[in-house]
Amino acid sequence: MSNTQAIPVEITRAGERDVKIRWQDGHESVYPARELRLKCPCAGCLDEVTGALRLIASSVPQDVHPLKIEQVGRYAVTIRWSDGHHTGIYAFDYLRKVCPCCSDKRQATSDK
Amino acid sequence: MATQYIIPIASGKGGVGKSTVSANLALALAKTGAAVGLMDADVYGPSIPTMLGITKPPEVDASNRIKPVEQHGLKVVSMGFFMKPGEAAIWRGPMLHKTVQQFLTGVAWGDLDYLIIDTPPGTGDVTLSLCQSIPLTGVVIVSTPQDIALNVAQRAIAMFKKLNAPILGIIENMSHYVCPRCGQREEIFGVGGARKTAERMAIPFLGEIPLSTPIRVASDEGKPIVLSQPESPGAKAFTAVASHLAAQAGLRAQQGAQVKVTF
Ligand SMILES: Nc1ncnc2c1ncn2[C@@H]1O[C@H](COP(=O)(O)OP(=O)(O)OP(=O)(O)O)[C@@H](O)[C@H]1O
Ligand SMILES: [Mg+2]
Ligand SMILES: [Zn+2]
Ligand SMILES: [Zn+2]
């Protein structure tokens, strides 16, 4: 059921802190580290019912960055962050949805 | 831990038969020759030990890891092993999260084909924590016809989808009444609600388990029906669901991606 776009081939570094994903359809997403931290989908950061952000942005260090990224199952990765946070499971579908270069366009056409 | 498929059994509300389904599915899978672990993550009312007639607590191995209790060919660990009565209240937030983690990493499961996880009622903290901290194959939703009618199951599914937790399928439990004497089927809440809902939500439908007293009695006696009366309609229903589950798990493992991560 996972859409074919949301299959990553490689997850690497972009610059010193940022995360780059190369997708099977050839697209490349670059996620600025802090932006990705603020998009953590875990229950502590995001209200799982309303979708509202629980995390207070000002509490996240400006220089926050991933220390380690690991695959979870066949659908997601977890990120161990420099601020100690590590409970988020970033599903590939989700990562693709929040791709910085695509999400502007997406918002214009449809949001689900 | 090398586990091929990790499958939590969840529901929108309590009492729909998650524990009954977890135990019987685990046993049905084990019967096919698979190595199966059963983890009872119900911190509020662990019932797996009773259902499987487990009386002795687990041992700890040389490296201080919990050795699951081997019962009826399953490897079993229950939160109940480590709780005193009234302790449930403290299992919250980060503590809970840690405990769930310990269950996965601090238990010497060995190599498993399946790890079936019985979850507490509803889509509460434990279940969400689980689904956010372990590499699931997919969540199985157990629902009753009533649940479907009242939209409870659908809301649970929406919740898991929101977490991006994969859903492996829906099981309808207590779907119809089978007369223990004549074997006649009677639908009490109407037929096929879960199947239709599954179709509409594009989720695999894994099958129906009849409402039948022998299923309950067998669990109460510590020997689930799949073991004690393998030829009964109830046991056959579990066996059929287990084979659909196995097929879906296999399919799921082929989907998705093996990604090269260098970070
Ligand atoms: N198909 C069935 N036919 C008859 N009785 C059943 C069936 N499924 C479950 N039961 C009975 O219903 C009761 C509740 O089942 P069970 O404990 O498995 O539910 P549960 O969802 O795990 O509950 P909880 O949410 O409290 O953990 C038990 O007495 C069980 O024996
Ligand atoms: Mg239960
Ligand atoms: Zn988070
Ligand atoms: Zn993009």
Tokens 């004497």 sit on residue = B181
Bridge partners of residue A46, in order along the sequence: A53
What is the domain partition of chain A in residue ranges? 3-110
pLDDT of residue A110: 47
B172 lines ligand 1 (CB under 6 A): no
Test A66 with B263 for CB contact under 8 angstroms: yes
Asked if the model's pLDDT at residue B25 lies above 90, the reply is yes
Please give the average pLDDT of every successive group of 10 residues along chain A, which has 112 residues.
69 95 93 95 69 79 95 83 89 90 64 42
What is the extent of the structural domain holding B198? 2-258
- Give residue B42 CA to ligand 2 midpoint distance, Å: 7
A23 within 8 A of A93, measured Cβ to Cβ: no
Q: What is the mean pLDDT of residues B219-240?
A: 97
Thinking of the domain A3-110, which architecture would CATH place it in? 2-Layer Sandwich (3.30)
B33 touches chain A (CB under 8 A): no
The minimum CA-CA distance between A4 and chain B, rounded to whole Å, is 9
Bridge partners of residue A89, in order along the sequence: A78
ipTM of model: 0.74
Per-residue pLDDT tens digits for B153-194:
898 898 888 777 789 999 999 886 655 666 666 665 566 788
Pick the residue from chain A with its C-alpha nearest to B136.
Answer: A73
Test A71 with B259 for CB contact under 8 angstroms: yes
- Give residue B11 CA to ligand 2 midpoint distance, Å: 10
pTM above 0.90, yes or no: no
Pick the residue from chain A with its C-alpha nearest to B158.
Answer: A49
Report if residue B263 sits inside a domain.
no
Per-residue pLDDT tens digits for B59-113:
888 888 889 999 999 999 998 887 766 665 455 555 666 677 777 778 899 999 9
Report if residue B38 sits inside a domain.
yes
Domain tally, chain B: 1
Tokens of B177: 């009444």
Per-residue pLDDT tens digits for B111-151:
999 999 999 887 777 787 777 667 788 999 999 888 887 78
Test A9 with B260 for CB contact under 8 angstroms: yes
Which mutation among B19, B78, B221 tests ligand 1's pocket best, with the greatest number of atoms within 8 A of CB?
B19
What CATH number does the domain containing B161 carry? 3.40.50.300
